[in-house]
Amino acid sequence: MLSRLRSTSRESVRRTGRDVYERLRTYLIVAAQAGLAAELSWFITRDVLHNAEPLFAPAVAVGTIAGAIGNRIRRTLEVIAGVIVGAVVAHLITRTIGAGPALTGVVVAVAISAAVAVRGTGAVTAQAGGTALLLGSVAQGPDLVVSKTESAVVGGVVAIAVAYLILPLNPMRVAHRTVRPTVDAFARELTASADALTHRDLQQAEDALQRFSAAWEQRQKTSELVEAAQQVVVLSPWRRRRLGMLRRYQHAAEHLEDAYSSACEMLQWATATIRAGEPVPAGLPASIEHLGQALRLLYRDFLAGGEPDPPRARAQQAIKDVNEACAEGVEFSGTVVATRVRAVASDLLQASGLPQAEANKQAGLKADV
């Protein structure tokens, strides 16, 4: 028991270390973009436009780049809109009733209310309140409002230029680095579940299901980064040649989302099969193992520009295995596992480029499933 706990702890530490390493590799380009954008916006605001308060521009630039990996143009417009709302409200109130710490709360409340009234997003509202807080506590004139707005525009424009023209991220590298850990995690737990089903190890099956569910919850981060990569491909002239490859990723991602959902249900029912003591024909765990192999090959070969035949062959083998298992005899939970195996196989075949009708036909599903 103690040996198993130590082994589990070591594996947890190794997995955490890998996750930290992958996050650093993925987000290092964001740190470089933010640093470059801060330096450029400071230089333009102070030395080119001779703005008396150049600090606001790099703050906006860094907030735009670090605040959202994707949708940076929208983020820039939201920041600028929030600055304008906050600056105008602070100017009008301080010119009307004065300035000072006692009135800061009033200025911030009115600025946020104004942002909400124009249906501003959370970013617009937060920026409006922050700008009002900065400007509402000091006496100011119209020049200060103009300078803040000018700085916000400079920071936003510089952020967009850095993100899409000067130092754009490599979309395929981002896609590979973000998709690979997710695929590896799902494929690894499919293999673990298949092994647990073979040996009727309930604890191993439950652990695999728990880890699979945890990876399922983290998949949204992968989707966000792939979306950011797509935006770079569309907007950056230096990365546009990668558009075809990224579209292959996006097409596969739509079907992989369904495959992950079905696989999670499959692992739940595999665990139930062991718990209920139902018969487990050899083809049942073999089919789950082949699905894991198909998923790995789909990432390694097809999404990297190769042919779809290897992952399709593994998915088709999974279908053959589950057909043999059903012919040998399965009970209630095993029948549900078999159905989910077919659904996952169909989704993987569609991710490899097969039409839905053909994929469902090969998997033994109805054409409209």
DSSP string, 117-154: HTT--HHHHHHHHHHHHHHHTS---HHHHHHHHHHHHH
Q: Answer yes or no: do 185 and 278 share one domain.
A: yes
Q: What is the average pLDDT score of the chain? A: 81
Q: Are residues 230 and 331 in the same domain?
A: yes
Predicted pLDDT of residue 283: 94
The domain in which residue 133 lies consists of: 22-166
Please report whether residue 13 resides in a domain. Answer: no
Looking at the fold, whether 157 and 289 belong to one and the same domain comes out as no
| pLDDT interval class at 250 (50, 70, 90) | confident
| pTM summary value | 0.67
> 162: how many CB neighbours lie within 10 A of its CB?
25
Residue 34 shares a structural domain with residue 69: yes
In a domain, 7, yes or no: no
Burial of 29 by CB count in 10 Å (0-12 exposed, 13-18 middle, 19+ buried)?
A: middle
Same structural domain, 123 and 235: no
Which of 2 and 107 is assigned the larger pLDDT? 107
Domain boundary pick from 137, 166, 195: 166
* Selection from 196, 362, 369 nearest residue 288 by Cα: 196
Q: Looking at the structure, do residues 279 and 300 belong to the same domain, yes or no?
A: yes
Contact 117, 190 (CB under 8 A): no
Would the pLDDT of 75 be above 70? yes
Asked if 156 and 225 sit in the same domain, the reply is no
Residues 132 and 91: beta-carbon distance below 8 Å: no
Output the pLDDT for position 268. 94
**Residue 15: inside a domain, yes or no?**
no
Question: What does the pLDDT read at residue 114?
Answer: 84
Higher pLDDT, 367 or 13: 13
Same domain, yes or no, for 177 and 157?
Answer: no
Choice among 112-116, 172-176, 295-299 with the minimum mean pLDDT: 172-176
3-state secondary structure of 307: coil
pLDDT confidence of residue 158: 92
Q: Is residue 186 located within the same domain as residue 105?
A: no
Domain-embedded: residue 200 = yes
Please check whether residues 155 and 180 belong to one and the same domain: no
Q: Are 348 and 287 part of one and the same domain?
A: yes
Q: Is residue 151 very low, low, confident or very high in pLDDT (cuts 50, 70, 90)?
A: confident
What distance in Å separates the CA atoms of residue 313 and residue 317, rounded to the nearest whole number?
6
Reply yes or no on whether the pLDDT at 185 is more than 80: yes
Last residue of a domain, one of 126, 145, 166: 166
Token pair listed for 223: 């989707």
Using the 3D structure, point to which of 105, 135, 166 is the last residue of a domain: 166
Interior/surface letters 165-200, b for 16+ CB within 10 angstroms, e for the rest: eebbbebbebbbbbbbbbbebbbbbbbbbbbbbeee
For residue 296, being part of any structural domain is answered with yes
Q: For the chain, what is the domain count?
A: 2
* pLDDT over threshold 70, residue 2: no
Cα atoms found within 13 Å of the Cα of residue 157, Cβ hemisphere only: 10
159 domain residue, yes or no: yes
